[in-house]
Structure formats: structure tokens, C-alpha cells
């Protein structure tokens, strides 16, 4: 057993509370903590100072009363679903979702008799039409992964105000730097903190931000399901947050430059990026995706459709992966630029018809634009296009 008395020691860096349980100096203190008369830590599945420190920062970023961290973005999403959905309930979801979330709603929750309707949530009428008497929740991804479709959060929340339907927004792509769902009326904001919060590709972690009442209920479920993260991973994400504002600004400006550079290239058929007037929700993006000071930002995921077919895609991806700074891999939001081909990678198990219907074409390449010097990114993409 380690008993370390930290009184009088004030580290400048981060302390990691790498412990399963916390010891009490007296039985009286233990009794008080257990019966809630005094605050304190008991067991890391329930809480840990490294969770709480990160949770305070995420709550502040999302303008939430409180937040909770989880072992992954999927742990955050599934814990919220198990907390609030019951057999017989119905959920309305964005038609395009991150693959794991899509599987959860389409296949896993269905086994508990929880039904989901997938609709194009960029259109309010589709939501009106999809709502049933047993609809308990709307789950939005905006922008969606990987098609970058946007949904009008404030209008949707206005529509559902009196229906007692929870509005949950996966805010991973926009981040609270550019979009604050709770301010727009949503009940819960969810994150894969694996992405921009951590920012360095070395951790898998999730987060939920909402009001204190809902946090208390979700916390109870997290404690029992054991979907908490590790203290060490929380400490890494907290370090990532120190540079969050700098990284996001650079991600955004690089993505903007890449999108405008590529859209005029003769070997590119289409660029999907909310900053481009050709994007179907460009006007909504300008209203909804803004910093606290009102500066518009569109995030750092750019969809690229090349002219040609599989041969061109193969040459392009291989050139980037083998000859440049760009990594061919899933995930996103890391310091380096990453590319992947959803039809053959993240969404390969989705039937082609279904995939095409939601906009994941055979040609689509998802680019997570990193924070390298832009000249390096531009040179990489220019050379890869020349190689086709």
C-alpha cells in the first residue's frame, strides 16, 4: 500500500492519480463519504481527480453545467442511450452517422426493442414526419461523418420544445470552438474526445456535457456500466486541451485553404466542405458554426471526390501514404493530415445502395486536415494529383 502525503508539495505539471481506490484517514471520514455527508473519492470506476479536472474543462468549453468523461466516444454514446432509452422507445437520427453509432442504433439497440428512424435531419419537415408518439430522443451529428451534412440545431430544438424529446448532438466534428449545441437549445452534447480534444492521436476517450440533473443520472449509469476512462488518458486529453484553441484555429485555416485549392483542380470532381457556396447547407454553416466572438469556422474535415475510378483512387491514396506526410488511416482530428476511403474502409460493411443513398459515394475520400505548415499539405496533395 502506498500512502503519499502531498501536503506542502505543489507540482507545476500534472499529477496522475493512478489508483483503483482512495484510502480514508479515519472510519468516520469513510462513513461520511459513503453516505454523502462529505465529498471525496472512493473508487476510480466511480470517479477520480483526473476525470473531474478534465470534466470541468469540457463543461466550460461546451457552456454546460457539468460534464462526464468515458473510455471512448462510443462508451459515452452507449451510456447515454442505456441511461435514457427503454424498450418500446423510438429515436430519430441523422441519416448519416459515424459507423459505430449507426450500428448501435440500427442493429444493437433494436435487440432491446428500441427503434430508430434515419432521416435527413437537415430538413425540419423530415423530422416532423418521423416523430412518433413513442419518440424519446433526436440524435444529431452535425456535421455528419463522413458526408458533412449539417442540421439546424436551434430550429430542431424549437420544434421539439414541448414534446419532451431529448436532443442529443454529437459535436465531435465542429467542436465547441465552432459550435455550442447547448447554447442552441440541445440537451446533451457528446464527443469522441479521441479526436480534437486530445488532438494527438494517442488516446481513445469520450465525453458528455449537459445540465447537472442529467449528469447525475448518467453518472450513476457510468459507475455501474464501468464505462469510465483511465486517469492517465484523462491527463493526456487535459494536456491536449491546453493547445485546443491554437490547434483548432490552424486545423480550420488549413482545411479552408485545402478546400479552395482543390476545388479548382481539373482532376477533382467535387469538394465537400461547408465553407464552399456549393455545399447544400453553406448558409446554415455560416449561422451555426461560429466561435464565441462570432468568427465563422467550418471544421477541418474535407470530402474529396476525384475524377476517374478505383485506379485513380488507389494511385492517389498510395502516393499520399507512401511519399508524403499524410497518413492513410481511420480516425481524425490529429496533428497530422489523415485520409481514408469510407466506401472501402469505415463504411465497407454498409450495403452499397444504402451507402449511396446517404451520400457516401464510391469516389469519396475523407480528409482530416492537420496542423502542418499549409505549404507541406498543399505540396503533398498537388504531387498526389500529378501522380494519377
Of positions 102, 170, 187, 363, contacts ligand PLP by CB under 6 A: 170
Binding-site size for ligand PLP (CB under 6 A) equals: 16
- Shorter beta-carbon distance to ligand PLP: residue 41 or 101: 101
Of positions 74, 130, 284, 339, contacts ligand PLP by CB under 6 A: 74
Q: Strand (E) positions, 43-83?
A: 66-70
State the nearest-atom distance from the C-beta of 118 to ligand PLP, in Å: 15
- Residue 355 annotated to the active site: no
State the nearest-atom distance from the C-beta of 146 to ligand PLP, in Å: 8
45, 239, 290, 315: which is the annotated catalytic residue?
45
- Shorter beta-carbon distance to ligand PLP: residue 325 or 345: 345
Q: Which residue is nearest to ligand PLP (CB)?
A: 73
89, 95, 136, 170: which is the annotated catalytic residue?
170
**Kind and range of the H or E run holding 169:** strand 166-170
State the nearest-atom distance from the C-beta of 343 to ligand PLP, in Å: 16
Three-state DSSP state, 372: coil
Edge-first strand listing for the sheet containing 115-119 = 66-70, 206-210, 188-192, 166-170, 135-141, 90-94, 115-119
Contacting range for ligand PLP; rule: CB under 6 A; set: 28-36, 98-106, 181-189, 260-268: 98-106
* CA 308/CA 21 separation, integer angstroms: 58
- Residue 170 annotated to the active site: yes
Cell match 480516425: residue?
A: 331
- Shorter beta-carbon distance to ligand PLP: residue 172 or 179: 172
95, 136, 180, 195: which is the annotated catalytic residue?
195
89, 98, 222, 273: which is the annotated catalytic residue?
98
* CA 105/CA 97 separation, integer angstroms: 10
Contacting range for ligand PLP; rule: CB under 6 A; set: 52-60, 85-93, 167-175, 357-365: 167-175
Q: For the CA atoms of the chain, what is the radius of gyration?
A: 22
Is residue 98 a contact residue for ligand PLP (CB under 6 A)? yes
Three-state DSSP state, 280: coil
Q: Are 99 and 144 in contact (CB under 8 A)?
A: no
- Angle formed at CA 303 by CA 298 and CA 306, multiple of 5 degrees: 145
- Give Cα 385 distance to the centre of its chain: 30
For residue 305, count other CB atoms closer than 10 A to its CB. Answer: 16
Of positions 181, 201, 206, 370, contacts ligand PLP by CB under 6 A: 206
- Residue 45 annotated to the active site: yes
- Residue 247 annotated to the active site: no
The region that residue 94 occupies, defined by phi over 0 for left and psi between -120 and 50 for alpha, beta otherwise, is beta
Is residue 94 a contact residue for ligand PLP (CB under 6 A)? no
State the nearest-atom distance from the C-beta of 144 to ligand PLP, in Å: 8
Is residue 72 a contact residue for ligand PLP (CB under 6 A)? yes
Is residue 192 a contact residue for ligand PLP (CB under 6 A)? yes
State the nearest-atom distance from the C-beta of 34 to ligand PLP, in Å: 32
* CA 297/CA 279 separation, integer angstroms: 14
Q: Are 245 and 292 in contact (CB under 8 A)?
A: no
Three-state DSSP state, 151: coil
Of positions 47, 78, 94, 172, contacts ligand PLP by CB under 6 A: 172
* CA 325/CA 357 separation, integer angstroms: 33
State the nearest-atom distance from the C-beta of 35 to ligand PLP, in Å: 35
Q: Are 135 and 164 in contact (CB under 8 A)?
A: no
Is residue 300 a contact residue for ligand PLP (CB under 6 A)? no
Active-site positions?
45, 98, 170, 195
Site residues (vs ligand PLP, CB under 6 A): 72-74, 98, 100-101, 141, 145, 170, 172-173, 192, 194, 204, 206, 331
Amino acid at each position: 500500500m502506498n500512502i503519499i502525503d502531498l501536503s506542502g508539495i505543489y507540482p507545476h505539471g500534472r499529477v496522475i492519480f493512478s489508483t483503483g481506490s482512495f484510502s480514508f484517514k479515519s472510519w468516520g471520514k469513510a462513513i461520511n463519504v459513503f453516505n454523502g455527508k462529505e465529498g471525496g473519492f472512493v473508487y476510480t470506476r466511480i470517479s477520480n481527480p483526473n476525470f473531474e479536472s478534465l470534466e470541468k474543462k469540457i463543461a466550460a468549453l461546451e457552456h454546460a453545467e457539468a460534464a462526464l468523461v468515458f473510455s471512448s466516444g462510443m462508451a459515452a454514446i452507449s451510456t447515454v442511450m442505456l441511461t435514457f432509452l427503454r424498450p418500446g422507445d423510438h429515436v430519430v437520427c441523422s441519416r448519416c452517422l459515424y459507423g459505430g453509432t449507426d450500428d448501435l442504433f440500427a442493429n444493437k439497440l433494436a435487440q432491446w426493442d428500441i427503434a430508430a428512424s434515419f432521416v435527413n435531419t437537415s430538413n425540419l419537415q423530415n423530422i416532423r414526419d418521423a416523430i412518433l408518439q413513442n419518440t424519446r430522443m433526436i440524435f444529431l451529428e452535425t456535421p455528419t461523418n463522413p458526408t458533412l451534412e449539417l442540421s439546424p440545431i436551434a430550429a430542431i430544438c424549437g420544434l421539439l420544445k414541448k414534446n419532451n424529446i431529448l436532443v442529443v448532438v454529437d459535436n465531435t466534428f465542429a467542436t465547441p470552438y465552432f459550435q455550442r449545441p447547448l447554447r442552441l437549445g440541445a440537451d446533451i452534447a457528446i464527443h469522441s474526445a479521441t479526436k480534437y480534444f486530445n488532438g494527438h492521436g494517442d488516446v481513445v476517450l469520450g465525453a458528455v456535457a449537459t445540465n447537472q440533473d442529467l449528469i447525475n443520472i448518467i453518472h450513476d449509469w457510468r459507475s455501474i456500466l464501468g464505462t469510465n476512462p483511465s486517469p492517465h488518458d484523462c491527463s493526456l486529453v487535459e494536456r491536449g486541451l491546453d493547445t485546443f484553441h491554437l490547434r483548432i484555429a490552424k486545423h480550420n485555416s488549413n482545411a479552408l485553404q485545402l478546400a479552395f485549392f482543390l476545388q479548382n483542380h481539373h482532376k477533382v470532381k467535387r469538394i465537400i466542405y461547408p465553407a464552399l457556396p456549393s455545399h447544400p447547407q453553406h448558409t446554415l454553416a455560416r449561422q451555426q458554426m461560429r466561435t464565441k466572438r462570432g468568427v465563422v469556422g467550418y471544421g477541418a474535415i474535407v470530402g474529396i471526390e476525384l475524377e476517374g475510378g478505383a485506379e485513380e483512387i488507389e494511385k492517389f491514396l498510395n502516393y499520399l501514404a507512401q511519399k508524403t506526410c499524410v497518413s492513410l488511416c481511420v480516425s481524425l482530428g490529429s496533428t497530422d493530415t489523415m485520409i481514408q476511403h469510407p466506401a472501402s474502409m469505415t463504411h465497407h460493411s454498409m450495403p452499397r445502395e444504402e451507402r449511396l443513398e446517404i451520400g457516401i459515394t464510391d469516389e469519396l475520400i475523407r480528409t482530416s486536415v492537420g496542423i502542418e505548415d499549409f505549404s507541406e499539405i498543399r505540396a503533398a496533395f498537388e504531387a498526389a494529383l500529378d501522380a494519377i
